[in-house]
Structure 1
Amino acid sequence: MSSVCPAPSSLHQSPVQSPLLNCPLFFPNRYRSHCKKTTRGKLVVFATLSLSSTNPTENADICSIDFINRRDGAVRREVPHLINENGNQVVDGITSRFQVQDLVSTIRALPSKEKTEFLSKCLEDREIRSLSAFNRLLMALFIADEPDVSSKLFYSMASYGFEPDSWTFSIVSRCHCKTNNLDEARRVLDYMVEEKGFQPDVETITMLINGFCRKGGLQRAFEVFDFMSKISCKPTIQTYNCLLKGLCYVGRVEEAFDMLIKIKEENLKPDVYTYTAVMDGFCKVGRSDEAMELLNEAVEMGLTPSVVSYNTLFHGYCKEGRPLKCIGILRQMKQRNCMPDYIGYSTLLHGFLKWGKIRSALRTYKEMVRDGFEVDERLMNTLLRGLCRISWKEKDLLEDAYQVFEKMKKGFYAIHPGTYGLMILALCTGEKIEKALDNLNDMISMGHLPQTITFNSIIRTLCAGGRVNEALLILVLMVEGRRIPDRISYDLLIAEHNRRKWLLGACSIYGAALKRGVIPNRKPRGEIYMWNS
């Protein structure tokens, strides 16, 4: 036993007085249990614990704990009051009841050194009188996210006169899984079976399998799975779910599907997580139609697909370039009273935008906002750019684009300079020149200088509207802003001056272009008229 339970010095030292030395201990157990009260008992603890059967890695659910600290029938008066961070009294020294979150917060709030001193004091004062109480203490530390402290206490338990049992080994194995020390967790299980003859519970083995699967160690996970059959430990559907997720994670989808068939043949009813795991595998390798068939099969079995199940299909079809398939799935999802979440909507919106389905993206955006979700900054910029580009041909979308643009400005989104420029271009194309000029001024005032193509679009729109002088001012603004006008900028102005037969003005613009090293395609033509400046 010495190889498993060495006594570290950190827990075997003279304790230092701590303000929480008389605080009641949190003693959860795997089973519904009650500590028996003794005539000289120091602790009477009533705890109810239920470990999650769906996910073995979840924290346990503690309902409440009653504590009475007595010695020879007399209440110890020196126990201090303990006030939690919310100002609620947790311990009053006589009898108290507190919820799990208060206690877990208290344990987590203790510095590591105080935890060690607190545990040492309790053990040396014989506060822990039985192995079952010791196990409860180990489990309490595990639940309170202190697996290292729990493991350290386990390896020193021999010095306190305790010999580990099956539940002790299971707890410490779980602690090693929680800290991703999977090899040590496996070593503990091997020791308890081969050296001690104990039988580990299926939840503990499942946690170890899950740990290997999450790290991509499928071979090690299946070794543990085979180990279960050797010790006659029957796997649960949660055990299979871990393996299925692991197989799909590394792309071994066919093996996952075969395992699903095996599960059904063994009369072990798959749950929605079983189907979702295999669906995810199919979607990742471009077989979303088969994933959809699995969803329908799950529904026929009476299972209710989760939002994760639908999100898996959204991701698969969008990845395959078939986002329009998701429209019917979204409708079906809502008909089954499964409301989409932020991830599902964002996946759809990104998929529609990626594959150029702008109108579908707009409908999804509006539906997402109507359901109370905020679209993130990156997607808003992408949506606005898509709407601006398509509005050049489909004029009815310009108003929608501008509404999105205004929402971004009012919502303090960071609008990308390229997005700002595209909005101005779209306004010019839609002959909304006043809005275009206003936003050009806003953009420059924010320190962003538009691209030359944006300036050219404004010059073209102003010239088409007969506002030549304002178009010239835009050209000056470009020069002053160190944005060198290109050939198109000068061609637009020279052509308009030629049309109006303002030869002198056309010559001036042509000369300015040559001075800056630009040779316009257009040349001044026509008679000389007085240029009305």
Structure 2
Amino acid sequence: MAASKSISPFRLSSLLRLQKDPAFAFKLFRNPNPNPNKTFRYPLLSYDIIITKLGRAKMFDQMEQVLQQLKKETRFVVPEVLLCNVILFYGRARLPASAIQTFQSIPSFQCERTVKSFNSLLNALLICREYEKMREIYLGIDDFGSPDACTYNILINACCLRGDIEQAWKVFDQMQRNGIRSTVVTFGTLINGFCLNNQLKEALQLKEDMMRIFKLKPNTFLYTTLLKGLCKMGDLTLAFGIKDEMVRNKVILDAAAYNTLIAALFKAGRKEEALGVLEEMKEHGCKPNPATYNVMISGFCREKDFQEAYKILNGMEDFKPNVMSYNVMIGWLCKEGKWSEAVDLFQDMPRRRCAPDVVTYRTLFDGLCEWMQFKEAAFVLDEMIFKGFSPVCISMNKFIDGLCREGNFELLSAVLTSLAGGNVLNEDICKTVVSMVCLKEKSSEAFELFDTLTVP
């Protein structure tokens, strides 16, 4: 949309920053001047703002148009950090080839590639889990500078995510030999790797070495990582020891740390202690977040105390229940055979101003099929398809199998028609229907269903 009157370059940057709609911001960027014969001198700030907005919105075609325009600019030097952000946008979108291409194109912006953009590329490839490509690219690091702490942290993280702790240690040792000082991030990454691989003893020892030898103070992330690992292993005594250490060292316990402890206590059947941690959380000025309430709902459902779970769902103090809250509740109700209550809660979601998502539909559909409530399941399936969602194949096969075993071919025919209308009917479903009907030796029903499967 063209602007009605000329605006200054400074004003354009301000307008772009305030504009929440990236598509409209892009139109404004492309047409800031109503006079086509007058050259508009874009400031670097405007490029930075619009590229960031488009990258975050995954509007990569438009972002590339802006980048091509930026290449032609001669009035200023394009900062490397701007292109680093582009590389990371592609990484977060799981587009490793585009991240590599952007890195390779940096010289065309009259910008030098350094270890900073090299690290951005390594991180983007790590997000995409392109481990072999990371190794291949790392071999050429000497062309861009010497590896720094960030480089080694990324490489250590890659080793940990692959479960190769031995190689992570080798990278750590190489870091020390090259005189690169380890950071809290380095130790946090290694400790996270140990926890992911259930090596809690080694994780705790590394935390002690970090403090005693390297004189580094653990941060909230590192402590919370240890808490999660210990709670996962069911060692609540050590977990609360870590919590107490955080308090002594004046490290802030965030909602994630408290939520981890609350969930572990519920899982261990220590409901009263979990409620005590919730109160402590509030007393220390840490407000419960939606995840806290979801943990509580799941905890009470695990105890089969659905009355208390409903109280939390209906009485959240600071937040409106989100769809995950309902999904947790519906999942547990179905698991315990309370499918009728699950259906009621599902139907009440619109009144509560919370729209069901694909997980809601699949959870309820799976639960109804599990308890052989095929008529109710058919209604949920029909609405699911209308909303553009599709069921999991295993659940769909179980549903069709159940209808065939009951001999309910009338409902099956209606379901197949609905599936065909929503383009969800596939070859596997057709094979299941034909095989099950043939087993029933119902020739007339078989021909009628065959017509449903073949008539467009």
Q: In structure 2, do the counterparts of structure 1 residues 162 and 371 end up closer, same or farther at CA, with 3 Å as the change threshold?
A: closer
1:264–1:270 Cα contact (<8 Å) kept: yes
Q: Who is 2:307 aligned against?
A: 289
1:274 to 270, 289, 292: 292
2:417 is the alignment partner of 1:401: no
TM-score by length of 2: 0.63
1:207 to 225, 229, 241: 225
| Aligned residue-pair number | 349
Q: In structure 2, do the counterparts of structure 1 residues 411 and 200 end up closer, same or farther at CA, with 3 Å as the change threshold?
A: same
Distance in 2 (alpha carbons) for counterparts of 1:353 and 1:111: 44
Deviations 1:217-270 (A, max 9, x none): 433323322322332323111111122233334444443233223322333210
Q: In structure 2, do the counterparts of structure 1 residues 341 and 423 end up closer, same or farther at CA, with 3 Å as the change threshold?
A: farther
Q: Who is 1:136 aligned against?
A: 150
2:277 is the alignment partner of 1:233: no
Distance in 1 (alpha carbons) for counterparts of 2:337 and 2:309: 16
Q: In structure 2, do the counterparts of structure 1 residues 422 and 259 end up closer, same or farther at CA, with 3 Å as the change threshold?
A: farther
Q: In structure 2, do the counterparts of structure 1 residues 222 and 380 end up closer, same or farther at CA, with 3 Å as the change threshold?
A: same
Q: In structure 2, do the counterparts of structure 1 residues 239 and 437 end up closer, same or farther at CA, with 3 Å as the change threshold?
A: closer
Once the two structures are TM-superposed, the CA of residue 202 in structure 1 deviates from its matched residue by 0.9
2:110 is the alignment partner of 1:88: no
Deviations 1:106-130 (A, max 9, x none): 56455676577556x58xx9735xx
State how 1:106-145 maps to structure 2 within 5 Å. 106=125, 108=130, 110=132, 114=136, 117=139, 121=142, 127=146, 134-142=148-156
Q: In structure 2, do the counterparts of structure 1 residues 422 and 317 end up closer, same or farther at CA, with 3 Å as the change threshold?
A: farther
1:331 to 347, 366, 371: 347
What secondary structure does 1:326 align onto? Answer: helix
Q: Who is 1:428 aligned against?
A: none
2:434–2:446 Cα contact (<8 Å) kept: no
1:212–1:221 Cα contact (<8 Å) kept: yes
Deviations 1:102-157 (A, max 9, x none): 554556455676577556x58xx9735xxxxx322233335656665664333233
2:432 to 415, 423, 448: 415
Deviations 1:309-366 (A, max 9, x none): 1111112211222211123321332344433233322221233334443332221121
What secondary structure does 1:373 align onto? Answer: coil
2:141 is the alignment partner of 1:153: no
Q: In structure 2, do the counterparts of structure 1 residues 201 and 438 end up closer, same or farther at CA, with 3 Å as the change threshold?
A: closer
Which is worse superposed, 361-370 or 241-250?
241-250
Q: In structure 2, do the counterparts of structure 1 residues 100 and 217 end up closer, same or farther at CA, with 3 Å as the change threshold?
A: same
Q: CA RMSD of the aligned region, Å?
A: 4.1
Larger Cα Rg: Structure 1 or Structure 2?
A: 1
Structure in which a larger fraction of residues adopt strand: 1
2:255 is the alignment partner of 1:248: no
Distance in 2 (alpha carbons) for counterparts of 1:339 and 1:63: 34
Once the two structures are TM-superposed, the CA of residue 46 in structure 1 deviates from its matched residue by 4.1
Distance in 2 (alpha carbons) for counterparts of 1:387 and 1:165: 60
The one-letter amino acid paired with 1:265 is: E
Q: In structure 2, do the counterparts of structure 1 residues 288 and 114 end up closer, same or farther at CA, with 3 Å as the change threshold?
A: same
2:378 to 362, 367, 375: 362
Q: In structure 2, do the counterparts of structure 1 residues 101 and 231 end up closer, same or farther at CA, with 3 Å as the change threshold?
A: closer
Once the two structures are TM-superposed, the CA of residue 216 in structure 1 deviates from its matched residue by 3.4
The one-letter amino acid paired with 1:63 is: N
What secondary structure does 2:315 align onto? Answer: helix
State how 1:5-154 maps to structure 2 within 5 Å. 46=81, 63=85, 85-86=97-98, 88-91=101-104, 92-93=106-107, 94-95=110-111, 103-106=122-125, 108=130, 110=132, 114=136, 117=139, 121=142, 127=146, 134-142=148-156, 151-154=169-172
1:424–1:439 Cα contact (<8 Å) kept: no
2:227–2:257 Cα contact (<8 Å) kept: yes
Distance in 1 (alpha carbons) for counterparts of 2:344 and 2:295: 22
Q: In structure 2, do the counterparts of structure 1 residues 319 and 230 end up closer, same or farther at CA, with 3 Å as the change threshold?
A: same
1:353 to 362, 366, 369: 369
Q: Which runs of 5+ in 1 are unaligned?
A: 1-43, 49-61, 67-83, 129-133, 393-397, 426-432, 443-533
Distance in 2 (alpha carbons) for counterparts of 1:171 and 1:164: 11
The one-letter amino acid paired with 1:353 is: C
The one-letter amino acid paired with 1:364 is: V
Q: In structure 2, do the counterparts of structure 1 residues 421 and 377 end up closer, same or farther at CA, with 3 Å as the change threshold?
A: farther
2:342–2:364 Cα contact (<8 Å) kept: yes
Distance in 2 (alpha carbons) for counterparts of 1:178 and 1:391: 48
Once the two structures are TM-superposed, the CA of residue 88 in structure 1 deviates from its matched residue by 2.9
Which is worse superposed, 276-285 or 179-188?
179-188
Flag the structure with more relative contact order, 1 or 2, with Cα contacts below 8 A and sequence separation at least 6: 1
Once the two structures are TM-superposed, the CA of residue 205 in structure 1 deviates from its matched residue by 1.0
Q: Who is 2:55 aligned against?
A: none
Q: Who is 1:198 aligned against?
A: 216
TM-score by length of 1: 0.55
Q: In structure 2, do the counterparts of structure 1 residues 116 and 347 end up closer, same or farther at CA, with 3 Å as the change threshold?
A: closer
Distance in 2 (alpha carbons) for counterparts of 1:100 and 1:247: 40
What secondary structure does 2:432 align onto? Answer: coil
Distance in 2 (alpha carbons) for counterparts of 1:170 and 1:306: 31
Once the two structures are TM-superposed, the CA of residue 380 in structure 1 deviates from its matched residue by 3.0
Once the two structures are TM-superposed, the CA of residue 389 in structure 1 deviates from its matched residue by 6.7
Distance in 2 (alpha carbons) for counterparts of 1:118 and 1:217: 44
1:372 to 364, 369, 388: 388
The one-letter amino acid paired with 1:141 is: L
Once the two structures are TM-superposed, the CA of residue 417 in structure 1 deviates from its matched residue by 7.0
Once the two structures are TM-superposed, the CA of residue 193 in structure 1 deviates from its matched residue by 2.3
Deviations 1:292-317 (A, max 9, x none): 2111222xx23133322111111221
2:338 to 311, 317, 322: 322
Distance in 2 (alpha carbons) for counterparts of 1:390 and 1:158: 69
